[in-house]
Amino acid sequence: MALSKFKKRSALFNHFVLMLLALSIILPILILFFNSLKPQSELLTNPLGAPMTLRFTNYYDAFVFGNYSRIMLNSLYFVVGTLVVCLPLSALASFSLAILSPRGKLTTSIAVYLLIGLSIPAQLYILPLFILWKNLYLTNTYIGLIIIYSALNAPFAVFLMRSYMIQLPKELFEAAKVDGASTFELFYKIAIPLSWPVFLTSGLIVGLAVWNEFLFAVTFIQDENFKPISTILFSFSDKYAHDYSLISAASIMMAAPIGILFILFQRNFIAGLTSGGLKG
Amino acid sequence: MNTLFSKNFITWYFLLPVLIIHFLVIIFPSLSSLILCFTDWNGFGKINFVGLENFKELFDDRVFLLTLKHNLIWTVLFLTIPIAVALLGAYLLTGVKRFQLFYRFVFFFPYILASVVNCLIWKYLFHPMHGIGTYLSSFGLDFFSTSPLTSKSTSLYAVAWVDGWHFWGFLVVIYITAMYQVDESLYEAADIEGATKWQKFWYVTFPMISPTFFFSLLIIIIWSVPAFDYVHMLTNGGPAYSSEVLANFLYYEAFYQMKVGYASSIGALMFVYVFIITALFGLLRRLGLDI
Amino acid sequence: MKFKMYKFLFTVLISMIVANSAFAKTKITWWNYSDEGGGLDATLKEMVQDKFNASQNDIELEIIFKDGDVNDNTRTALLAGVGPDIITSSGASYVKAYHDAGFLLSLEKYSQQYGWADKILPWAYNTGVFDGQFYSFPQNYETMLYFYNKTLFEENGWKLPTNLKEYEDLAEKIMAKGMNPYVYGSSGWQPTHEHLVGNYFNTYAGPENVYKALTGEIKWTDPVFVESIELLKKHMLAGYWAGSLENYYAIGWDDYFSQLTNRQAAMLPIGTWGFGDTIAGFEAISDEFGWSKLPILGNYGGNPNYQLSIGSTMSINASSKHPDEAAKVINWMISDKKRVVELTKKLGFGNWLIPLNYDDDDFSQDIHPSMRDFFVDFSETTAKGDYGYTTWTFYPAEAGSHVWKEMEVVWAGDITVMEYLEEQQKLWDKARSKNALIPVGKR
């Protein structure tokens, strides 16, 4: 009896703190949402409150001005394309690091090598990369940018996948080897099916990174028709003008698809980061 | 023939695709850039070799040393506050039954938003004339009467606040998955002993999630070096270089001052900085910490 | 029967293909920066691209709008040996860099062929002349001026200042009323500081001295410049713009016009690109606005002048396969003055104000009277020789970015004004020795 009361009070305390933390996030974003519905003029008189006049046309304007449908499709191509390239390649690499040679100098050096790549600022190598890409005829193409995104996101994906795969029961692999399975079969018959949670998680994280990415998109894509969604925000703000209501609306529209995906796949997302099942 | 398919080679075959595109896209161009740090190239014209001139100039540059200090502060800030808040959030989250999905989604949401959006939100909120400053003033609380982004003493911390605000939700997700794997029975045993929340955390939760925790430390350190977006959009290093960081300084030198050679030497030093940190980490690992 | 049918169709098909290739249009690409929110993209498409394509059959012009920094995109492409036929750049320092690297085609022969030197205002033309040849075409000209709330001034019996004492007195009077004398700020665009530096140089030290410093006759450490910057620092710390230094950093474009129309500030020192929003802002309220040249603050200031500035420029890529056609496009742009005015009018006159020799009848009746007055006054004033120099048009890259980046350090008090100007002078000397200066026409 006492324990359950204690648990209830303890849960209440938890909720209290969690709610405070949640508010620190909800309130600023709520204001963004409010602003996306206000006409430009109301921003002066009512900067933080709920909109007094609802102007849904902000969304319409952002849709039209920013050519939303086209750019969203482009972003979709980039996300799906990157996932199709990056995830399998990363899975192969993680399998190698996790199962084929679980310890030893190889793993450490590769890990260090990939990690260091994460810390190099893009501004340092984007110019030589463009020149290289131009010589390979890869600029202004979907596949060119997809390869770049795959390379940029592979290290993190490899890390996630490796920590997951390393917890797969070794006995399964041993048994299969005894049955005469080739290494490749070990990979696609055992490792892959068991690892789908981490694939989902990596997919969401890599997809998110590609969706929001701006710098490389703008440098390597010259054609209007290939522009991705991250450029929409820059259509409405430059050194001269900020139309806050339009930008707010555009931001909500840009975040919405990913937000929805995350809500739908939340549980699986978490599963991918765990060892995929209870121990013992 | 057999050797080509021997264990060692297979390992390499699996790794090769990722290593190839990684080298092509990141390493090779970066190396070419680094060669530039021995030149005075302006991004357009002739390339003249100047040896170590750039490095000499860099160490004399008062801005560079200030920037280095700021990056160190930035790393320390990110290693402490977001981690503490995320651990708190994740831990408390394991202690509630309902609304878990709600909280997780809310905490993670700013990470989903593009950095431009987050900067816009906070610039708007910090605005001295129509932000929370004016709102609080009506209650007599004056601390945001000027935007914290615009005063020398607080600019770096204000930028770190915005970046941290968007980032800690990501850590929550990482920690909570590790925490879910902690054996229930350990907590029950602790309850029987009458442990407080804090004691449960310190003696049960924290030790059990230490691999994940160390991973988060490493990733924060590594990601803190090229930190650029938030500084660039919120203050561009100002006022008076009080929030300048290495990556932003590099960008300014390369694209505004047109000193690509000089900027590359900043890049080279950033590279060395990371190398040292990672080596330190490797050392700690060798000392037995399970990563 | 059937066979004859096929032969007929075949002939038609072949003739179509032949006709198409014989009359295949030359494609000219042009990269410009994007500003959808300001209506730039749509307007340029309509007024330039579509109209040009409709006006003739040989050339097809395609304008591509780049998000982010068009200079970064362009430079990257040029380095890789490609890029558009027509290049847009943000200003003279880029043109200089491109020219030095050999990326630009000399337009001298086209200039002579089409007579551009007579059509474009001389000082603007000169900013595009390197090593005696014409390379870059000004897209826009800008200058700095004041907008002020005329009704507010009349109500309070205030007059626009004509010298330093009046300037400071007026500021005090305005602040006493709880308003900001000026509204201006750098949020979102740190280079804003260069506008203020240019203003003070040209109104205190005066254009003659600025010209001498630009050409190396005197140094930037000369007392006139030191005093100019000391004055700027004094006024900034007193809160002339937005009430305090911190607020100045936090104020951005939207705030300029809202403060001016809300009577939170009395004046707005901005460039001609502010005309559009000022007109629009005041249309919605009962107050009226006025505009004026910047007041002269120093003894060397001379007469009230207009600082010269070229906004963006256009050039032809040296590796373009169709330079003649590209030149045709550029020539078409300036051939009809009425059309030029029409284009810039659609953009609120903030952009694409090509510096041509305008007459009064080039302007249609529905232009705002303030703008018409400005155009006339600008031509007359600059013709008299009362013009100054903006930093972003006439400074080499390093000195130009140092001007605004380090200004914050001066305001923060971390370096002295003299140290700031000494660093400036060093950068100028360095640029001079490397032959990296921007051409400045003779006064």
Q: What is the pLDDT of residues B80-137, one digit of tens each?
A: 999 999 999 999 988 887 888 889 889 988 998 888 889 888 988 998 887 888 888 7
Q: Give the count of alpha carbons within 13 A of C104, CB side only.
A: 27
Cβ of A154 within 8 Å of Cβ of B115? The answer is no
Nearest to A131 among C37, C73, C80 (CB): C80
Nearest to C246 among B43, B150, B236 (CB): B150
Nearest to B123 among C71, C187, C412 (CB): C187
Cβ of C37 within 8 Å of Cβ of A224? The answer is no
Cβ of C66 within 8 Å of Cβ of A227? The answer is no
Residue B49 has pLDDT above 80, yes or no: yes
The interface residues of chain B toward chain A in range 66-105, judged by CB-CB distance below 8 A, are 85, 88-89, 92-93, 95-97, 99, 101-105
Helix ranges (DSSP H) in chain B: 7-22, 28-35, 53-60, 62-94, 100-112, 115-126, 132-137, 155-180, 184-192, 197-200, 206-208, 210-224, 229-234, 246-255, 260-286
Nearest to A242 among C33, C64, C254 (CB): C254
Nearest to C97 among B42, B123, B236 (CB): B42
Residue A239 has pLDDT above 50, yes or no: no
Cβ of C408 within 8 Å of Cβ of B240? The answer is yes
Residue A4 has pLDDT above 70, yes or no: no
Nearest Cα residue in chain B from C81: B44
| A233-247, B139-153, C41-55, C373-387: range with lowest mean pLDDT | A233-247
The interface residues of chain A toward chain B in range 63-82, judged by CB-CB distance below 8 A, are none
Residue A250 C-alpha, separation from nearest chain B C-alpha, in angstroms: 9
The interface residues of chain A toward chain B in range 173-192, judged by CB-CB distance below 8 A, are 183, 187
Whether the CB-CB separation of A254 and A230 falls below 8 Å is answered with: yes
Cβ of C250 within 8 Å of Cβ of B147? The answer is yes
Question: What letter represents residue C388's amino acid?
Answer: G
The interface residues of chain C toward chain A in range 256-285, judged by CB-CB distance below 8 A, are 258, 262, 273, 277
Q: List the one residue out of A162, A114, A108 whose CA is nearest residue B286.
A: A108
| A119-128, A225-234, B240-249: range with lowest mean pLDDT | A225-234
Chain A neighbours, 3+ Cβ pairs < 8 A: B, C
Q: Which residues in C340-362 are b (16+ Cβ under 10 Å) and which e?
A: bbebbbbbbbbbbbbbbebeeee
pLDDT tens profile B180-225: 878 888 888 888 888 888 888 888 888 888 878 888 888 898 888 8
Cβ of C76 within 8 Å of Cβ of A234? The answer is no
Nearest to A28 among B121, B130, B278 (CB): B121
Cβ of B129 within 8 Å of Cβ of C97? The answer is no
Whether the CB-CB separation of A173 and A190 falls below 8 Å is answered with: yes
Size of interface A-B (CB pairs under 8 A): 248
Partners of residue B241 in chain C, C-beta under 8 Å: 408-409
Provide CATH code, domain C26-142+308-381: 3.40.190.10
Residues above pLDDT 70, as percent of chain B:
95
Task: Give kind and range of the element (H or E) at residue A233.
Answer: helix A232-235
Cβ of C97 within 8 Å of Cβ of B45? The answer is yes
Nearest to A236 among C36, C65, C273 (CB): C36
Residue B153 has pLDDT above 50, yes or no: yes
Taking the alpha carbons of A42, A48, A51, A52 in that order, is the dihedral positive or negative?
negative
Size of interface B-C (CB pairs under 8 A): 78
Q: List the one residue out of C48, C49, C411, C33 whose CA is nearest residue C248.
A: C411
Assigned token pair, C76: 């990257």
Task: Give kind and range of the element (H or E) at residue C291.
Answer: strand C289-292
How many angstroms separate the CA atoms of C64 and C41, rounded?
Answer: 9
**Preferred mutation among B37, B112, B266 to probe A, highest tally of A CBs within 10 A:** B112
Cβ of A243 within 8 Å of Cβ of C37? The answer is yes
Instruction: Please indicate if any CB of chain A lies within 8 Å of the CB of C252.
Output: yes
Q: What is the predicted pLDDT for the residue at C354?
A: 84
Cβ of A246 within 8 Å of Cβ of C37? The answer is yes
Band the pLDDT of A240: cuts 50, 70, 90: very low
Partners of residue A95 in chain B, C-beta under 8 Å: 14
Nearest to C412 among B236, B240, B255 (CB): B240
Cβ of A130 within 8 Å of Cβ of C273? The answer is no
| B45-54, B62-71, C132-141, C174-183: range with lowest mean pLDDT | B45-54
Residue B86 C-alpha, separation from nearest chain A C-alpha, in angstroms: 10
Q: What is the predicted pLDDT for the residue at B26?
A: 92
Nearest Cα residue in chain C from B232: C188
The interface residues of chain A toward chain B in range 110-129, judged by CB-CB distance below 8 A, are 110, 112, 114-129
Question: What letter represents residue B153's amino acid?
Answer: S
Residue C183 C-alpha, separation from nearest chain A C-alpha, in angstroms: 15
Unique residue bearing structure tokens 């203003």 = C199
Q: What is the predicted pLDDT for the residue at A275?
A: 47
Q: Supply the ipTM of this predicted assembly.
A: 0.80
Residue C266 C-alpha, separation from nearest chain B C-alpha, in angstroms: 17
The interface residues of chain B toward chain A in range 201-230, judged by CB-CB distance below 8 A, are 211, 215, 218-219, 222-223, 225-226, 228
Whether the CB-CB separation of B264 and B33 falls below 8 Å is answered with: yes
Nearest to B44 among C72, C98, C190 (CB): C98
Partners of residue A100 in chain B, C-beta under 8 Å: 7, 10-11, 14
Q: What is the predicted pLDDT for the residue at A278?
A: 29
Task: Give kind and range of the element (H or E) at residue A236.
Answer: none
What is the domain partition of chain C in residue ranges? 26-142+308-381, 144-307+387-433
Could you tell me the domains of chain B? 37-286 (1.10.3720.10)
Put the strands of the sheet holding C59-66 in their side by side order: C59-66, C26-33, C86-89, C313-316, C137-138
Q: What is the predicted pLDDT for the residue at A277?
A: 33
**Preferred mutation among B22, B37, B103, B104 to probe A, highest tally of A CBs within 10 A:** B22
Whether the CB-CB separation of C251 and C242 falls below 8 Å is answered with: yes
- Mean pLDDT, each 10-residue run in order, chain C (443 residues): 63 57 74 76 87 88 81 82 88 84 90 88 84 88 90 92 92 92 89 93 92 92 94 94 91 86 91 85 88 89 86 89 90 84 78 78 76 84 86 88 93 93 94 85 76
Cβ of C97 within 8 Å of Cβ of B258? The answer is yes
How many angstroms separate the CA atoms of C91 and C128, rounded?
Answer: 10
Residue B259 C-alpha, separation from nearest chain C C-alpha, in angstroms: 8
How many angstroms separate the CA atoms of C280 and C296, rounded?
Answer: 28
Residue C351 C-alpha, separation from nearest chain A C-alpha, in angstroms: 11
Burial class (CB in 10 A: 0-12, 13-18, 19+), C208: middle
The stretch A27-45 carries a mean pLDDT of 81
How many angstroms separate the CA atoms of A174 and C233, rounded?
Answer: 76
Fold designation for C144-307+387-433: D-Maltodextrin-Binding Protein; domain 2 (3.40.190)
Cβ of B97 within 8 Å of Cβ of A230? The answer is no
Q: What's chain A's length in residues?
A: 280
Nearest Cα residue in chain B from C90: B256
Cβ of C75 within 8 Å of Cβ of B149? The answer is no
Q: List the one residue out of B264, B172, B279, B277 whose CA is nearest residue B224.
A: B277
Do the domains C26-142+308-381 and C144-307+387-433 sit in the same CATH topology, yes or no?
A: yes
Unique residue bearing structure tokens 């994007």 = C34
Nearest Cα residue in chain A from B275: A116
Residue A30 C-alpha, separation from nearest chain B C-alpha, in angstroms: 10
Nearest Cα residue in chain A from C281: A41
Q: Which position has the higher pLDDT, B243 or B144?
A: B243
